[in-house]
Amino acid sequence: MTASPRPDARPKLEGSAVFGMDLESPGMLWGALVPAPVAHGRLRSVDLAPARAIEGVVAIGAADLASLLPGSSGDPDRPVFPTDTVAYRNQPVAAVAAPTRELARQAARAVRVEVEPLPVVSDLEEVFPEWPGPSADSSPHVAAHVRAREGDVEAVFRTADTVVREVYRTSSVHQVALEPHACLAEVGDGKWRVRTSTQSPFGAREDIASLLGVPEESVVVEGTWVGGGFGGKGSALLEPYALLLARAAGRPVKLALGYREEFLLGRTTLPSVIRMETAVAHGRIVARRVRLLLDVGNALPGRDFATGFAIGFLLGPYATPAFEVEGYAVRTNKPAFGPHRAPFAPQCAFVLESHLDHVAREAGVDPGAFRAAHLWKEGDRTPLGQAVGPFGLAAAFEKARAIAARWRAEAGPDHGVGVAAGFWSTGTGAGGEVRLLLQPTGLTVVQGEREIGSGSVLAGVAAVAARCTGLPRDRVTVAYETTARAPFDSGVYGSRTTAVLGRAVEEATRMLFADLGRRLGLAEPVPRLAVAEDEVVVVAGTTRRPIREVLTEAERTGDGLVATGRHYGKGGTIDERKVEAGAFYPFTDFTGAAHVAEVSVDRGTGTVRVVRYAAVHDAGTIIDPASASAQIEGGVVMGLGTALTEEALWSEDGRLLNAGLLDYRIPTLGSVPPIEVTFVEGFSGAGPFGAKGLGEPPIIPVAAAVALAVRDATGAHVTELPLSSERVARALNLL
């Protein structure tokens, strides 16, 4: 192991890193949420008196909002506490705070909540057992409807050689960040201050301001170390309740979820039903129809992002001359759909790869060669008309097929090998800014994100800054400031952080070098910095000037030389003429991976074991090799959970039945195969030095690769996720 340790290794290995769960403040109270007892109903009354009768307890409900938030109505579409209808089980209907955590829980249980039950819709197939007709748009269960087309699909289907029609189902999966949501709120001096475990301090600030109906400037969010995010900590969840309790109590309030609550209240990936139809003529795809029903839980009508986004991943990354795509976001009595590492893309890849593999088999052509022949390459257009940028997926897929051929030749009985492609649009469209401080001792990058574990902030941004300036890594510090002082950034999500903040660092470095050039009386910016005799020097031609000689007295004794940089990228454009309803989204960077799984399948039980795995990625220029490999290993293993064991089960009355780590099974140490990580190079991305994001792509092809390996091993064509022993056994006619 030659790589230098992660910059955050020491605080995490010594126990000094303070996470949201660890926050404490003198005199603080503990908060607890009062859950709705049913998944759907009319709220008759919320009686806080029994809780308030307990000494030291503060309790708040909808009726208290007017006095806690004078002159504000908050977001009328998203009331902090419901006033008339309960929309999902455990929806917070009130909140309490008490001097101890145990007392807070007792107080929450003491609140009397009366709800007149209404029929619960837990399963989207109860709403739409068949593909919905034109009247669906007026259904209260439809949060979004998207539709796009190109050509006359029905006519092409009539004349094709082969038409394959299938239905797939995918499960609800949870992020399972090991640290539950937690925050500590304090209110005073006209400020709403909250320290919180968040992937997006500025996003949380915006959310809190909107939910409470207060100005953004009055909200100060300070991020803590984050014990895993995976999308689940991207927007405000507990912060508004904690702040309102702190306001009511006049004291700091800590609010932390128990792990069961973490499952119950988490906004995550929900089930889907996907109908896939593909027509082939002369070995080529000639037309496709894709119909998606996506459960979005309590998502607000008009605010669904997932459906149109998902359709893009069900269409691509394959050339498709004629198509009809349509999707409905279906509201059910569950917490709202929320992001989970590459939201819904692993499910889309599972469906698309399994389907096209099946189509190729039905058409009598080689499934790998069939998919390879249709993969997008740079210069192609997506079905929705966007030009494809530098994209190494086809190259990665070729490499993966070669690995698969080798493994297949070696595979024993009941073993099988699957190859799957997946792609992603990294979120370089969401902007960010940094502030550089150059001092004689080194460079500090001031920014507004906390490290969530991927390395994107502390390792990625530092590596970019070192490469931009010429300074060694140990002379670069990445510093965090709260939303009150940091330059803006959108959040650590969407595989965007190193790419966007890195581009901002590039721009800030240009400003810095121009400034240094002027100070040295040069006509041009200085080319780089270096370290000589233990201090930072400017290098220009043959001269080396110590930075301390270039700084003013005020800079020397203060922050140093300051330069700012920002990056607000933009995505491509789609051909809106193809869109008939709803919103589809252009991609901002084309990132892809091809994975190979070798499995063994127990012929008696249907149990699948992944015995080895290879991941070939196009991530553009690799900025920090250690972090890049670590992201791929972690993402693959998370994907193995989606593939094999992870499934949140909802009862008919809207209960989450397996809200715990014994019953909702994530991968454990003993279940992990060796993983071979490689990259294809030469496909430049929108990030610094041609980097592309890498946080999400590694999870995308995993379930697909495993499913195709199971098919290769046994012939079983499983059309539902996860590939539990039971599902595989059914496909093998063992049950």
Partner 1 sequence: MPTPIVLTVNGQRRPLDRVPDSERLLDTIRWRLGLKGTKEGCRSGECGACTVLVDGVSTLSCLTLTHEVDGASLTTIEGVAADPVGRNVQEAFARAGALQCGYCTPGFVLALVGLLKERGADASTDELLTDLGGNLCRCTGYLSIARAVSLLQREGE
Q: Is 344 in the site for partner 1 (CB under 8 A)?
A: no
Nearer to partner 1 by Cβ, of 318 and 493: the residue is 493
Q: Does 189 bind partner 1 (CB under 8 A)?
A: no
Stretch that binds partner 1, among 3-11, 160-168, 528-536, 727-735 (CB under 8 A): 3-11
Radius of gyration of the chain from Cα atoms?
A: 27
Angle between helices 367-374 and 345-363 (to 10 degrees): 120
Could you tell me the smallest distance in angstroms from the CB atom of residue 303 to partner 1? 28
- 563, 666, 706, 728: residue in contact with partner 1 (rule CB under 8 A): 666
Instruction: Determine the Cα–Cα distance for residues 640 and 649; give it in Å rounded to an integer.
Output: 18
Q: Does 718 participate in binding partner 1 (rule CB under 8 A)?
A: no
533 binds partner 1 (CB under 8 A): no
Q: Is 22 in the site for partner 1 (CB under 8 A)?
A: yes
Residue 405 in tokens = 């051929």
Site residues for partner 1, window 158-187 (CB under 8 A)?
A: 175-180
Closest residue by Cα to residue 654 from 50, 68, 58, 90: 90
Spell out a b/e string for 116-155, using b for 16 or more CB atoms within 10 Å of the CB, else e. Answer: eeeebbbbbeebbeeebeeeeeeeebbbbbbbbbbeebee
Per-residue H/E/C for 188-257:
ECCEEEEEECCCCHHHHHHHHHHHHCCCHHHEEEEECECCCCCCCCCCCCCHHHHHHHHHHHCCCEEEEC
56 touches partner 1 (CB under 8 A): no
Nearer to partner 1 by C-beta: 433 or 647? 647
Stretch that binds partner 1, among 12-20, 235-243, 324-332, 686-694 (CB under 8 A): 12-20
x/- contact string, 218-257, with partner 1 (CB under 8 A)? -------xxxxxx-------------------------x-
Q: Considering the rule CB under 8 A, would residue 439 count as an interface residue with partner 1?
A: no
Q: Does residue 13 interact with partner 1 by CB under 8 A?
A: yes
Q: Does 668 bind partner 1 (CB under 8 A)?
A: yes
Does residue number 97 form part of the binding site for partner 1 (CB under 8 A)? no
Q: Considering only residues 119, 129, 379, 674, which one is a binding residue for partner 1 as defined by CB under 8 A?
A: 674
Helix (H, G, I), strand (E, B) or coil at 178: coil
CA distance 632 to 636: 6
Start-to-end C-alpha separation, the chain: 48
CB of 637 to partner 1, least distance (A): 3
Comparing CA positions, the residue from 238, 376, 246 lying closest to residue 315 is: 376
Smallest gap from Cβ 694 to partner 1, in A, equals 13
Interaction between residue 610 and partner 1 (CB under 8 A): no
Q: Can residue 1 be called a binding residue for partner 1 (CB under 8 A)?
A: yes
Here the tokens at position 432 are 């960010």
Question: Per-residue string for binding with partner 1, 398-437, x by CB under 8 A?
Answer: ----------------------------------------
Instruction: Read off the DSSP letter of residue 98.
Output: E
Query: Which listed residue (18, 69, 136, 514) binds partner 1 by CB under 8 A?
Result: 18
Residue with tokens 């490499």: 399
Residue with Cβ nearer partner 1 (293 or 457): 457
Which CB atom, from 176 or from 596, has the smaller least distance to partner 1?
Answer: 176
> What is the β-pairing status of strands 92-98 and 543-546?
unpaired
Residue whose structure tokens are 């109906």: 213
Q: How far is CA 407 from CA 223, 252, 366, 421, 709, in A?
A: 46, 59, 17, 17, 11
CA angle 45, 50, 56 (to 5 degrees): 130
Stretch that binds partner 1, among 112-120, 121-129, 400-408, 628-636 (CB under 8 A): 628-636
Among 134, 542, 662, 733, binds partner 1 (CB under 8 A): 662
Q: Which of 519, 626, 684, 717 binds partner 1 (CB under 8 A)?
A: 626
List 672, 681, 717, 726, residue binding partner 1 (CB under 8 A): 672
Query: Does 317 sit behind a cis peptide bond, omega within 30 degrees of 0 on the bond before it?
Result: yes
Starting at the edge strand that comes first in sequence, how are the strands of the sheet with 535-540 ordered? 528-532, 535-540, 543-546
Q: Tokens standing for 571? A: 């995505």
- Which of 16, 135, 138, 557 is the binder for partner 1 (CB under 8 A)? 16
Is 24 a binding residue for partner 1 by CB under 8 A? The answer is yes
520 scored as a contact of partner 1 (CB under 8 A): no
Q: 222 vs 179, 195, 205, 481, 735, CA distance in Å?
A: 17, 5, 9, 8, 53
Which ranges in 431-496 belong to alpha helices (H)?
462-469
* C-alpha triplet 650, 656, 657: angle, nearest 5°: 85
Q: Residue 27, interface with partner 1 (CB under 8 A)?
A: no
Q: What are phi and psi of 461, to 5 degrees?
A: -65, -40
- Site stretch for partner 1 (CB under 8 A), options 2-10, 420-428, 603-611, 646-654: 2-10
- Binds partner 1 by CB under 8 A, chosen from 339, 429, 586, 634: 634
Can residue 26 be called a binding residue for partner 1 (CB under 8 A)?
no
Calculate the CA dihedral of residues 383, 389, 394, 399 and round it to 10 degrees.
Answer: -160
Least CB distance from residue 608 to partner 1, whole Å?
18
User: Is residue 611 at the binding interface for partner 1, with CB under 8 A as the rule?
Assistant: no
Q: Of the two residues 8 and 161, which places its CB atom closer to partner 1 in the complex?
A: 8
Report in angstroms how near the CB of residue 291 gets to partner 1 at its nearest. Answer: 33
- Shortest spacing between CB 23 and partner 1, in angstroms: 9
258 binds partner 1 (CB under 8 A): yes
- Considering the complex, what minimum distance in angstroms separates the CB of residue 13 from partner 1? 5
Q: Which of 12, 284, 381, 510 binds partner 1 (CB under 8 A)?
A: 12
Number of residues that bind partner 1 (CB under 8 A): 57
Residue 31 interacts with partner 1 (CB under 8 A)?
A: no
Pick 340 or 692: Cβ nearer partner 1:
340
> Which SS3 state, helix, strand or coil, does residue 293 take?
strand
Angle, helix 462-469 to helix 497-519, in steps of 10 degrees: 30
- Binding string to partner 1 for residues 441 to 460, with x set by CB under 8 A, is what? -----------xxxx-----
CB of 677 to partner 1, least distance (A): 10
Residues 462-501 touching partner 1, rule: CB under 8 A, are: none
| Closest by CA position to 531, among listed 446, 436, 439 | 439
For the chain, helix (H) and strand (E) counts, in that order, are 20, 27
Task: Tell me which stretch binds partner 1 (CB under 8 A): 8-16, 296-304, 405-413, 483-491.
Answer: 8-16
Nearer to partner 1 among residue 72 and residue 658 (C-beta): 658
CA distances from 493 to 266, 449, 485, 540, 680 (A): 17, 11, 21, 38, 24
Among residues 107, 501, 608, 630, the one that binds partner 1 under rule CB under 8 A: 630
Cα–Cα–Cα angle for 524, 527, 532, nearest 5°? 130
Chain contacts with partner 1 (rule: CB under 8 A): 1, 3, 5-6, 8-19, 21-22, 24, 175-180, 225-230, 256, 258-259, 452-455, 626, 630, 633-638, 660-662, 666-670, 672, 674-675
